[in-house]
Structure 1
Amino acid sequence: MASLSFSSLALPPSQSRKVLASAPYNGALKPIVVRGDPPTFVSAPGRRIVAVGDLHGDLAKARCALETAGVLSSDGQDLWTGGETVLIQLGDILDRGEDEIAILSLLRSLDVQANVVGGAVFQVNGNHETMNVEGDFRYVDPGAFDECIDFLEHLDGHGYNWEEAFVSWISVSESWKEDRRKSQSGWGPWQLLKRQKGVLARSTLLRPGGPLARELSRHGVAIKVEDWLFCHGGLLPHHVAYGVERLNKEVSCWMRGGSGEDIDDLEIPFLATRGYDSVVWNRLYSREPADMSFRKQQICSVAEETLGSLDAKAIVVGHTPQPSGANSKCNEKIWCIDVGMSSGVFNSRPEVLEIVDNRARILRSSADSFAGLEAVDYI
């Protein structure tokens, strides 16, 4: 296995995207303009917007969802087919599945491809990303620990060139997994040693300042694209009063390991990442209240206040699996799109949200084979 020395790991750069440099593919649309580092406010005039909810380490379902969204080729080549589309993924890529880094690599590869033709891929971090950066590995699939070991060896093979190794991981991860399975031993002491290596590898990658934590630091916890807000749990009025861009910067700084401070002394951004009403944890918008009539009115009022303060039309959230599928509430001001598609959750059929000309609809893959497509009319 590759050396796990922190000092030997090349760290991914913290990149600020103000204007996506490439001209639009057909020349008809204005360039995408991004404000904030991580991206917080995005102007993407005329673009089709698609949003994908929680993926939880399930690469097959992630690919199916992206194909359903019309942004990923179906030929196994992992090519961007979305043109000038803007894709937003709502976090919780980590935990419950074994292909987490592969999904992150796929999304980064698609972003690189999309930028060339006037599109873009944005992500927000969810509670499972922040938990892992804190060192909370309770929900990690055993295969995900193995992927961390494999990826560190892959990184070593690329001379610790992060960009090269990370973007290329999606193209080789499945062969690494297959090789690992062929060489697995059932010998008890070996399994214990492998688990220890897996925990150490994951800690190396994901602790604040670690290379994968720095990769996650490229993304905030909330983003506004045109008139639509996107976050994992939910933005509330006191988050907006504190400052969405400020929240994103604080989370990013924490994930990067601060600016020279002792990592062990870094403060975790509480308002964004901890507590029942934090941005990544709160379920106000996504959980059905017990007292429907009274509580629903309150929830809609909170959503309207939040949206009004940011001049937004609607908020899109993940975090809480919706047993009946993606849905909207409060006169389409709230959209809940976590359908528990991962095999580690509900193993349900993928669904995505499509927004065209400020009108939204749900796109659903076929129930059984996931090869077909259903669309609910725009509302």
Structure 2
Amino acid sequence: MGLCHAKPRQTLETQLETEPTTHSSTENSSNFPYYSPSPFHNSSAFRNSPANSSVKFAPPSPAHPIRSLLARRHGSVKPNAASIPEGSEFVVGLDKNFGYSKKLLTYYQLGDEVGRGHFGYTCVAKGKKGRMKGQDVAVKVIPKSKMTTVIDTEDTRREVKILRDLTGHDNLVQFYDVFEDQDNVYIVMELCKGGELLDRILARGGTYSEEDAKAVMVQILRFIAYCHLQGVVHRDLKPENFLFISEDEHSLLKAIDFGLSDYVKPDERLNDVVGNAYYVAPEVLHRSYGTEADMWSIGVIAYILLCGNRPFWARTNSGIFRAVVKADPKFAEAPWPSLSTEAVDFVKRLLNKDYRKRLTASQVLSKFQCL
């Protein structure tokens, strides 16, 4: 079960290739301008996916769903799909003292590792004393040895601040505390035991009804609307970064991983290229973007939920970036012709390359309430 996966900063030239698998049919419903994901049957391609490997592979199938990402979570391939954060200049004698409490082991007993990313890992823990006594929690461990630039330390400090500022929303993993020692920073958070949204999509075999898909998307949109109201852009929205708190079918969905998130003012444009290649908005690649970039990422998630495929795909990251900037998502192939006009329009308005014409989270929520 993945929990929190911090992201590294690296140059675009160091990105790795990923592999797609198969696509199949889905079932329609009229309750929601949305559709259900298609099941994935090519298990051999799933198990043997070279996603995130540094080895070159032969050109893959023209279909492009997301099963290789699940393989990464289960340890069959090395981590990182197509994340695209940038590097920075190395600083000698970098100050890695954050001023956080150094009493982690006084308050928590650390347990097994349950998730790993480029820039850290997550383990379970149990409260020993204080307000979390006797409760299970998740602890994100960020090694200071991997903080080699000022940007790295600023990212860690900002991640903690954003979690503190936003915690309390139902669809956000709750922040409890932060500690440090000579070797690591430890972020103590709510433990989500229901697995990733990506796992749930795949486990259900593409059988999401429109009503169930709406329930998922409304939770994501409520969270993003809250973030944007607080001046926060997440910048790494993808199915792996949403967890269910339990295995119950109607469990709450929680957003995680603010390692790439940032504050942005209404009249401000960000210019650093970060995120995941499959979910990155065109304006991010043009180095001028705001909260609208998150809505594009939600549009990609919506597209995947509806048909099981990524809307933009290529064998290399540079190819993906070209497709994001120049290509249009395909809506002529099944299951799109059988979907409602509202469903197709919903996705198209999120995947509009002109961010000024893209729906906002508040607009989408208002539209849902009118259905």
Per the normalisation by structure 2, the TM-score is 0.26
- The one of the two structures with greater contact order (alpha-carbon pairs below 8 A, sep at least 6) is 2
Per the normalisation by structure 1, the TM-score is 0.26
